[in-house]
Structure 1
């Protein structure tokens, strides 16, 4: 609950980050779009924990789940249908979606439960895509070094690629495919950086996995 209250109180600061870091934001969007290219058209897509809807809007996602009412207000203004809820208890019945997106797993209360919920609401052979900051790369390390000064990252948890890989497999996902972007420190990234396959160089990693 403390995390939700933090986002409620600092919506403007959250929005400002995207305006102040367009190169990072657009690089992350491109990495996610690359994973989306192989998905079929006319699919039902949801973003979980979509904040103010920055990624959903850029990716053409029309619905999502967000626990913060103040964040949800901004997302609704971007044309996104919002249901109040959490990743750990998605307000949907089983087998509803072709695709589930997460871009804020560092703020989840229980990542294992969230992945199990994603698996539950996905149709057979549906896909999950997770975009996250790799714990072992530059930007996550920078954020952790100054977490005591941050309204958002004070209680964030960053994960390694190997840990996310293991959790996805345990949750019932297969055929993992990775890409990466953000190859410098936060202050050095001024332009859009194109994604590369795999992981181990870029701070922002995306993984696509298929429901078994």
Structure 2
């Protein structure tokens, strides 16, 4: 992942975003949860690049990867077990998990390698879930315009839904399903939004795909 030192030095600023946009965060959680609820019960999974553990805590995920030591400290205080490593080289054996969640693909160093690693550690029939800001929608475009004034997004890479779909298929994932949320501008979202099926309207998209 890029900018590990930036995240190490700006943990409180990172945390403050969630406090400033609670309805945005809860809307994102709801969209991810809707996809997770499609999976079988009593399964094990990880979040890759989990930051301070906000999403993992909200979703009941107990383990994951975070390369920033300072972020990992916060996540561990939230009860998340942290394995040191990066998305491009997951410190797990093959065929290990039922699902792998990404909410930070814009900060990945090499997304193709990361998806191949997710495929490797998933059991047959396991699912990858990717939650991301759609490059073609307003919030990602807003962040793009402010890139050089942002602590965290100067080197971020935003992806369109079509690009994510292509990357997943290239990594041999099948049966893609999409939902979306964050309808409207970031500062205008003052209530928790229910996710909608598909994509093309909301700025935040969640895709679930299966390792056959």
Tell me the TM-score range normalised by the shorter chain: over 0.9
1:164 aligns to what?
Answer: 164
Cα deviations across residues 119-151 of structure 1 (Å, max 9, x unaligned)?
000000100000000000000000000111101
Q: Partners in 2 of 1:192 and 1:42 — Cα distance?
A: 27
SS at match of 1:178: strand
Q: Partners in 1 of 2:157 and 2:10 — Cα distance?
A: 19
The offset of 1:2, in angstroms, is 5.3
SS at match of 1:67: coil
Is 1-10 or 75-84 further displaced after alignment? 1-10
Cα RMSD (Å) of the superposition? Answer: 0.7
2:92 aligns to what?
Answer: 92
1:23 aligns to what?
Answer: 23
1:193 aligns to what?
Answer: 193
SS at match of 1:154: coil
Q: Partners in 2 of 1:164 and 1:61 — Cα distance?
A: 23
Structure 1, unpaired ranges of 5+: none
Q: TM-score, normalised by structure 1?
A: 0.99
Number of residue pairs the alignment of both structures matches: 212
Cα deviations across residues 42-95 of structure 1 (Å, max 9, x unaligned)?
111100000000000000000000000100000000000000110000001100
Q: Partners in 1 of 2:193 and 2:141 — Cα distance?
A: 20
Structure 2, unpaired ranges of 5+: none
Q: Partners in 1 of 2:160 and 2:19 — Cα distance?
A: 28
Structure 1's consecutive aligned runs of 4 or more residues displaced over 2 angstroms after TM superposition are none
